[in-house]
Structure 1
């Protein structure tokens, strides 16, 4: 049976308006960018984990004839404002990679044999980032401005390179690569060629000043890394993923994940302590003008920022769309002469824009209603912690 593509799009948007679901995975986009041999078929709940899996074969006695591979989420997030001030960015990244490697090596997941098997073979981690909006605010950048997009790309360009260096170093030390490495685009060198031919370069003086303590890799750096990886491999099949984060961001005095803050002062219901009130990190007269709520931000700007990061992230990102049931006047040009109420058409357009910009997945659609309720605000506790 067939279904009209337009009808399907509208049905997805209706559901997203009502509940925040379904999550979206642009599976062809994910697979085109996948450097690993095999096909990505699904994501996790938070939509940031995109890895190749292999099915198991089970006989009539419910015994494994072929043990497949499934995924363990070994996640961590860098504090972006702190990281770019590190006296040794490469060493800080290596420390984070080694910490997550310890998690992959010591996780007790024998109760789920396919997850244990996949974890043992792939050693996958998901290092991400939080505090991006805080970084913009303390440097007096508007979220989604050209400079903020370039700063985002510069950071994740560097993070990608130095996680590869760390993974290669661990592979060298242990004499061990991830399973099926030889059939990956890392082994053939194809993954590195784009960076060698056209390495990222900062054009903004302001971004260059902010990133001055981070040595951005050159074409020669990528060429040398390509040779090292060909010789010694990588320990981790996957390295980078952007989790939504939550409590860890508050503890770190920084904004959650890569998205804008939702309120200048958030009211949070903590299980043991009750209600807590959390002001935007580093809130001051200087940062206040740059702390615009996600609900008052054009979602195309959010997508632009995430797309800049996605270029250098081998897995996915928990990208949430923050909408109002009554959209701000003049925010979206296609609303001119139409109702300002959010419609399925608005969500259709934004999903298509995300796809066009190379976004692999979309997490929740959160809607702020006129009576101050948030629709679609429940999160996976494991990812958002």
Structure 2
């Protein structure tokens, strides 16, 4: 993750959900515990797009721009004087994390199997397009406010190096189905990237970090979405919600006619999940919260194979490893310790 980061400095850690990957620096103290030098720590300013609604939008570019501006407003209005290193980091870096959810729901609605060639093609082009418009918006913010994030001059954005892979080749859908899905959206071309690179090198970008894909384990339910960009864990999920008791959540857009597109994560297997995250990762400056799912017959060797496969695919971080235990089916609760390693 440090090798691929466009920001100068070392990423030392992530948050618990493993999607926030930002450079931080330590705070030093005098012997009386007063501040010697205030370091730079991280404020999580996060929000996620519903992929199905974003794709239904007549203007995906405007949708992404609105989201980036909204999250930037959260950062600008955040003030944590009780934790001065976080306050300093937020004020200097304006870092945000635009995430995504409902990938599986959208694919199933469009009669596309999760992890298929078409699904990977869509994921690639979608995240590619979101990246462009997130950077474009941050560049506009820098021009409007007359300032870039602290450390921009030493970043791979300032040198233009970050943009090499986008200006040196054309990124286009590889399948007719994905071309059809993006028919009413503009997919950025090399000329767009060349113009953006020139503007960024001249004016900078306002946000040190722009994207991070969280697990969206709770907000996806109230959005009628599948969580994050991983597959469903069940066609109908059962959760224990406080004093309410069991609540049943059927997968979004599911009907009797499209059930075949709702394979769950345990049936799909780790390779297709990792493949999906890998094509998205290349367009995300931070991390993606990636959970691996195994049947209860899995061994530690199976888990190790999956971890090695993820590393070879360029995955930056891994989150939970969940086991399906038949004896516990129908008793699911949020963050059940028995279901995780």
Shorter-chain TM-score category? over 0.9
Aligned mate of 1:198, from 169, 175, 186: 169
Match of 1:116 among 60, 81, 87: 87
Aligned to 1:350: 306
Q: String of CA shifts for 1:334-383, please: whole Å, max 9, x gaps.
A: xxxxxxxx11110111000000000000000011113126999629xxxx
Q: Is 1:133–1:143's contact at 8 Å kept on the other side of the alignment?
A: yes
Matched position secondary structure for 1:156? helix
The alpha-carbon distance between structure 1 residues 376 and 227, as it changes in their structure 2 partners (threshold 3 A), is: farther
Q: Deviations over 1:85-127 (max 9, x none)?
A: 2111111111100110111011232211111111111000000
Structure 1 spans left out of the alignment, 5+ residues: 1-29, 327-341, 380-385
Distance in 2 of aligned mates of 1:73 and 1:309: 21
Q: Which has the higher contact order (CA 8 A, sep 6+)?
A: 1
Is 1:244 equivalent to 2:215 in the alignment? yes
Moved >3 Å (runs of 4+): 373-377
**What is the alpha-carbon distance in structure 2 between the residues aligned to residue 375 and residue 266 of structure 1?**
8
- Structure 1 equivalent of residue 327 of structure 2: 371
Residue 233 of structure 2 contacts residue 264 of structure 2 at CA under 8 Å; is this kept in 1?
yes
Q: Secondary structure at the match of 2:274?
A: helix
Paired position in structure 2 for 1:128: 99
Residue 163 in 1 paired to residue 127 in 2? no
- Residue 168 of structure 1 contacts residue 235 of structure 1 at CA under 8 Å; is this kept in 2? yes
CA contact (8 A) 2:238 2:333 kept: no
SS at 2:240's partner residue?
strand
Tell me, yes or no, if the aligned pair for 2:11 and 2:21 is still in contact at 8 Å.
yes
Contact 1:121 1:178 in 2 (8 A): yes
**Size of the alignment, in residue pairs?**
335
Pairwise CA RMSD: 1.5
Distance 2:217 2:333 in 1: 16
Per-residue deviation, residues 67-99 of structure 1 (Å, max 9, x unmatched): 000111111100101111211111111110011
CA contact (8 A) 1:187 1:233 kept: yes
> 2:178 is matched with which residue?
207
Deviation at 1:272, TM superposition (A): 4.7
Q: Please, what TM-score do these two structures have when normalized by structure 2?
A: 0.95
If the length of structure 1 is used for normalisation, what is the TM-score? 0.85
Is the Cα–Cα contact under 8 Å of residues 134 and 254 in structure 1 kept in the other structure?
A: yes
Q: How far is 1:193 from its partner?
A: 1.2
> What is the rounded CA distance, in whole Å, between the counterparts of 2:200 and 2:242 in structure 1?
46
In the alignment, which residue of structure 1 is the partner of 2:40?
Answer: 69
